C-alpha cells in the first residue's frame, strides 16, 4: 500500500476502555474522521452514556458498544466471539483500557488484576482477533503503554506480585509486558500487512490519575498534565496517519518513535513473556 491511500472512511476500529479519559477522547477524534467505532466498556450504563457522547460530539452515528470486563479471561473470549459474530472486518485495534490498583486484587482466574487488565487481557484479545485483523489488512494494532515501564520493569520471578505488592511496580510491570508483546508480535506479523506499535500518551488528567487525590494536588497537576484530548494525540496519530503506514514494532511518544527501556528489546525476554502468557490464557 502506498503512503497516501490509507482510507479512513468505513474502517472499523475497536477501542478498549472507551468510556472515559484517553479512550473516549480517542473514540471521539477517530469518529470525527468517519471511522466506525466499536467501544469496549465494562459497565453498561457508563458505556451507553459514553456512546451517546461520542455520537453527539463527533456527528458520527456509526458507534457501537460491546460490554466486557477485561479482568475476566472468559469475558474477553466472549467479547471476541461477539465481535466476530457482528462484524467481518477489524482495521484498527486500540488496546487502551488500564487500571492502577492501590491494593493487590485477584481476578476470577486467580491472577493479579493490574497484570490482567493492562496486559494479559489485551494479549488474549489480540490473539483471538488476529485472524479478522489479518483479513482486514492493511490494519493496525496500537498498545497503550506508559513511560513508567522505564522505572518499574517486569519481574519474571514474581509476575503476580505474590511476595510483595506495590501498585507502581505492578502497573509498571504490566506496561513493560505490553511493550515486550508489541515487539514480539511485530516480528511475528512481518509481511502480513498488520502493524503493531506501543505508545506513551503522556501524563494526563483522567479518572486513573485524579481519583482519591486532594484538590491542591489536582490544581498542581492541572498545570503540568495533559487533557485527555491532548493525551489521545499519539493513539489517534498511530490509528489514522498515513505517515506511519508500514511502521511496526516501535514505541511512540508525542507522535515520534523513541527508544523504550533497553531490556524491552531483549528477544529472549519477549519470547519468555509470550510463552508464559500463552500458558496463563490456557491456549
Ligand atoms: N492518564 C495518564 O497519565 C496515563 C499515562 C500513561 C499511560 N496511561 C494509560 O492510558 C490508558 C487510558 O487510561 P486513562 O488515563 O484514560 O484512565 P481512565 O480514564 O481511568 O480510563 C481507563 C479505562 O479503562 C477501563 N477499564 C478499567 N478496568 C477495566 C476492566 N476490567 N474491563 C474493561 N475496561 C476497564 C475504564 O473503565 P471504567 O470507567 O469502567 O473504570 C476506563 O474506560 C491506560 O492504559 C493507562 O494505563 C495513562
User: Relative to the CA of 171, which ligand 1 atom is closest?
Assistant: 47
The pLDDT tens digits for 209-235 are 877 666 666 666 677 789 999 999 999
Q: Kindly report the number of other CB atoms within 10 A of residue 224's CB atom.
A: 8
- The pick from 48, 69, 97 for probing ligand 1's pocket by mutation, whose C-beta has the most ligand atoms within 8 angstroms, reads 97
For residue 46, CA distances in Å to 2, 97, 112, 229 come to: 40, 14, 25, 19
For residue 88, CA distances in Å to 85, 134, 136, 173, 271 come to: 8, 11, 8, 34, 30
Work out the pLDDT band at 188, boundaries 50, 70, 90: very high
Q: What is the mean pLDDT of residues 85-109?
A: 96
Is the minimum distance from the CB of 172 to ligand 1 under 6 angstroms? no
Positive or negative, the CA dihedral 190, 26, 42, 109 is positive
Predicted pLDDT of residue 219: 66
Work out the pLDDT band at 7, boundaries 50, 70, 90: confident
The pLDDT tens digits for 257-281 are 999 999 999 999 999 999 999 999 9
Domain residue extents for the chain: 12-280
Predicted pLDDT of residue 4: 44
pTM for the full predicted model: 0.96
Distance in Å, CA 173 to ligand 1 centroid? 16
42 alpha-carbon distance from chain centroid: 14
Fold of the CATH domain 12-280: Rossmann fold (3.40.50)
Is the minimum distance from the CB of 44 to ligand 1 under 6 angstroms? no
CB 220 within 8 A of CB 13: no
Is the minimum distance from the CB of 154 to ligand 1 under 6 angstroms? no
Predicted pLDDT of residue 225: 87
The pLDDT tens digits for 170-185 are 999 999 999 999 999 9
Work out the pLDDT band at 2, boundaries 50, 70, 90: very low
Which regions of 56-212 does DSSP assign to beta strands (E)? Answer: 63-67, 92-95, 139-144, 194-200
Which regions of 133-227 does DSSP assign to beta strands (E)? Answer: 139-144, 194-200
Amino acid at each position: 500500500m502506498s503512503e497516501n491511500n490509507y482510507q479512513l472512511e468505513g474502517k472499523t476500529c475497536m477501542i478498549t476502555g472507551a468510556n472515559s479519559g484517553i479512550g473516549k477522547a480517542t473514540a471521539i477524534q477517530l469518529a470525527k474522521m468517519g471511522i466506525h467505532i466499536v467501544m469496549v466498556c465494562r459497565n453498561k450504563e457508563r458505556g451507553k452514556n459514553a456512546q451517546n457522547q461520542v455520537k453527539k460530539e463527533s456527528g458520527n452515528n456509526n458507534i457501537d458498544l460491546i460490554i466486557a470486563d477485561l479482568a475476566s479471561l472468559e469475558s474477553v473470549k466472549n467479547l471476541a466471539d461477539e465481535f466476530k459474530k457482528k462484524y467481518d472486518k477489524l482495521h484498527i485495534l486500540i488496546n487502551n483500557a488500564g487500571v492502577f490498583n492501590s491494593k493487590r486484587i485477584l481476578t476470577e482466574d486467580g491472577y493479579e488484576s493490574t497484570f490482567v487488565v493492562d496486559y494479559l487481557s489485551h494479549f488474549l484479545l489480540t490473539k483471538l482477533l488476529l485472524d479478522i485483523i489479518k483479513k482486514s489488512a492493511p490494519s493496525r494494532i496500537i498498545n497503550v503503554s506508559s513511560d513508567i515501564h522505564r522505572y518499574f520493569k517486569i519481574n519474571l520471578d514474581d509476575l503476580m506480585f505474590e511476595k510483595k505488592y506495590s501498585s507502581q511496580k505492578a502497573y509498571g510491570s504490566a506496561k513493560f509486558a505490553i511493550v515486550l508483546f508489541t515487539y514480539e508480535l511485530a516480528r511475528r506479523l512481518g509481511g502480513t500487512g498488520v502493524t503493531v506499535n506501543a505508545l506513551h500518551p503522556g501524563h494526563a488528567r483522567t479518572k486513573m490519575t485524579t481519583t482519591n487525590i486532594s484538590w491542591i494536588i489536582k490544581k498542581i497537576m492541572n498545570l503540568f498534565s495533559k487533557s485527555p484530548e491532548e493525551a489521545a494525540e499519539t493513539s489517534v496519530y498511530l490509528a489514522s496517519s498515513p505517515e506511519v503506514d508500514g511502521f511496526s514494532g516501535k514505541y511512540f511518544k508525542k507522535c515520534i518513535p523513541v527508544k523504550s527501556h533497553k531490556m524491552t528489546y531483549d528477544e529472549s525476554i519477549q519470547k519468555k513473556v509470550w510463552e508464559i502468557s500463552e500458558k496463563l490464557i490456557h491456549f
